């Protein structure tokens, strides 16, 4: 924090509009505690998206034991996001802003744009899950044919709740996430305990579908990749949410709280999706579970699905507003968030009433790993080289070539080359519904993109940076900022 940086007292109070956006959070304004991290990440992680990913492991031809192992392994990639959270706490900046240092002011624009587009895709998918759950709830309570009116009501309910919380800002989001974490977590724990007893554990080693790859090992790696796509998808926004922690918070507690509060709920949800997929078709996670639980529990399950959808969308909406600011939208954070909420609502209504292209959205998310892992590898490596030290004024500078983070014609060549290298490796080693890389095909359909993309880009960036400037210069810059 520079000596002349203004401090806004009460600029991030619950139920008031947060004043800060994609700019730096000065030390006196940091009002977050580690317990809030637990509430935030548990609430964000208990949702049907993880359930759906876990069920895919069974449809790929794995037996239940291997599917559960894939859930354990794939979710370990939350460690990347936990390490990245240490950087954003030290910097007091969101990812969409601090990535300017590693890519250049202009070079980061494609990343900020992709971050926003990806956020909208996740927001739409979660909203559709919520709509399906609310329609089922309407029918339970006697509205047998909700039709278009029911869909509109379901969308508006989520628009008002999610959008309202996200527009108010960080402190309000954290306040509500503790409620979502408690209520949704307990409800899904009851559903988990009930459904796990329905599973035929004696025959858990039997397959329930034909093997989607040439070998079991290839299918296992692909299932782990599918599950890892969720934690990796948080690399462009998840670390934003803890930047209100004091910058002096020790690194190990930050890592522990972020990792375990995200890993354990996601592990439970993906495992639940895997063992429920052995009971029947879980292509529709709401209707698919209905035959396997009593009516009273199904109501609890529906409410948990709606709550999970809301809890996952609120922080995504929040970071989307920051991404729009980083792209160059000249609006306050709350106004940028409102724009994002309206865009997501319009896309959702189009899918529900005009043309369903949700499959295309899911395919896009599957391809997202090709970018998000390498992107995370670059900005995170840069953050650790700088020890989280950024010049908060220069990173927003419009001075052009005279700016500290301008780079070469607005680009940082090291970051751009490194992310390209990581994406190239990920593209050659990925298996997705739309595209199979040549190396993945040669390995019998094994997906290695989730393993290789991040470290390849991080290592490339480190090597290029070491060639361009000495470590002592990097340390001196960190100490100066």
pLDDT in the model for residue 326: 93
DSSP of 62-95: --HHHHHHHHHHHGGGHHHHHHHHHHHHHHTS-H
Instruction: Return phi, psi of residue 431, to 5°.
Output: -130, 125
Summarize pLDDT for 379-395 with one digit per residue, the tens: 999 999 999 899 888 88
DSSP of 201-255: GGGTTS-SS--SSSSHHHHHHHHHHHHHHHHHGGGGTGGGGGTTS-TTS-HHHHH
State CA 31 to chain mean position distance. 23
Dihedral of alpha carbons 261, 101, 121, 365, sign = negative
- Contact in structure between 341 and 166 (CB atoms under 8 Å): yes
Residue that the structure tokens 């020890």 belong to? 387
The CA-atom distances, in angstroms, between 403 and each of 297, 391, 394, 396 are 59, 11, 6, 9
Q: Is 479 exposed, middle or buried (0-12, 13-18, 19+ CB in 10 A)?
A: exposed
Q: Is 101 exposed, middle or buried (0-12, 13-18, 19+ CB in 10 A)?
A: buried
State CA 191 to chain mean position distance. 24
What are residue 431's DSSP bridge partners? Answer: 436
pLDDT in the model for residue 99: 95
Summarize pLDDT for 332-376 with one digit per residue, the tens: 999 999 999 999 999 999 988 988 766 776 677 778 889 999 999
pLDDT in the model for residue 471: 46
SS3 call for 436: strand
pLDDT in the model for residue 10: 86
Distance between CA 131 and CA 143 in Å, rounded? Answer: 14
Q: Which of 59, 436, 64 is nearest to 210 (CA)?
A: 59
Distance between CA 412 and CA 55 in Å, rounded? Answer: 41
Summarize pLDDT for 15-60 with one digit per residue, the tens: 999 999 999 999 999 999 999 999 999 999 998 889 999 999 999 9
Q: How many CB atoms lie within 10 A of CB 473?
A: 10
- Contact in structure between 160 and 166 (CB atoms under 8 Å): no
pLDDT means over runs of 10, the chain (481 residues)? 74 93 93 95 91 92 95 97 97 95 94 94 90 89 89 92 94 94 92 91 85 85 94 94 96 97 96 93 86 91 90 94 93 95 94 78 79 96 93 80 79 95 96 90 92 97 86 49 48
């Amino acid at each position: 924090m520079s000596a002349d940086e203004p401090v806004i007292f009460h600029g991030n109070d619950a139920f008031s509009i947060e004043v800060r956006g994609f700019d730096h959070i000065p030390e006196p304004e940091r009002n977050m505690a580690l317990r809030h991290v637990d509430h935030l990440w548990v609430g964000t992680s208990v949702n049907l998206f993880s359930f759906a990913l876990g069920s895919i492991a069974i449809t790929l031809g794995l037996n239940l034991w291997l599917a559960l192992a894939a859930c354990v392994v794939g979710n370990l990639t939350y460690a990347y996001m936990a390490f990245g959270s240490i950087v954003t706490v030290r910097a007091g900046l969101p990812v969409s802003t601090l990535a300017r240092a590693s890519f250049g002011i202009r070079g980061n624009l494609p990343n900020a744009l992709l971050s926003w587009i990806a956020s909208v895709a996740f927001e739409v998918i979660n909203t559709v899950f919520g709509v399906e759950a609310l329609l089922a709830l309407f029918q339970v309570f006697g509205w047998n044919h909700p039709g278009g009116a029911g869909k509109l009501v379901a969308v508006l309910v989520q628009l008002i709740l999610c959008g309202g919380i996200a527009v108010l800002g960080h402190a309000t989001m954290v306040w509500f996430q503790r409620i979502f974490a408690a209520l949704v977590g307990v409800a899904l724990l009851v559903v988990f305990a009930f459904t796990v007893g329905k599973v035929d554990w004696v025959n858990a080693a039997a397959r329930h579908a034909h093997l989607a790859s040439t070998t079991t090992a290839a299918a296992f790696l692909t299932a782990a990749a599918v599950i890892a796509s969720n934690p990796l998808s948080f690399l462009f926004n998840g670390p934003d949410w803890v930047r209100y922690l004091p910058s002096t918070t020790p690194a190990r507690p930050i890592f522990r709280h972020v990792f375990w509060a995200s890993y354990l709920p996601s592990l439970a949800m993906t495992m639940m999706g895997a063992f429920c997929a052995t009971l029947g078709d879980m292509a529709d996670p709401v209707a698919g579970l209905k035959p396997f639980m009593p009516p009273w529990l199904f109501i609890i399950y529906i409410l948990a699905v709606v709550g999970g959808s809301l809890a996952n969308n609120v922080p995504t909406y929040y970071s989307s507003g920051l991404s729009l600011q980083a792209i160059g939208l000249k609006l306050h954070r709350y106004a940028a968030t409102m724009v994002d909420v309206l865009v997501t609502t319009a896309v959702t209504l189009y899918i529900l009433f005009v043309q369903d292209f949700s499959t295309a959205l899911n395919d896009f998310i599957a391809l997202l790993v090709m970018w998000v892992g390498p992107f995370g590898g670059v900005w995170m490596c840069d953050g650790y080289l700088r020890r989280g030290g950024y010049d908060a004024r220069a990173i927003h500078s419009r001075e052009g070539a005279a700016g500290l983070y301008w780079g070469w014609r607005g680009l940082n060549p090291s970051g751009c080359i490194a992310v390209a290298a990581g994406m190239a490796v990920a593209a050659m080693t990925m298996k997705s519904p739309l595209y199979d890389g040549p190396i993945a095909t040669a390995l019998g359909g094994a997906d290695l993109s989730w393993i290789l993309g991040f470290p390849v880009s991080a290592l490339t960036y480190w090597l290029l940076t070491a060639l361009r400037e000495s470590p002592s210069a990097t340390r001196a810059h960190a100490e100066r900022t």
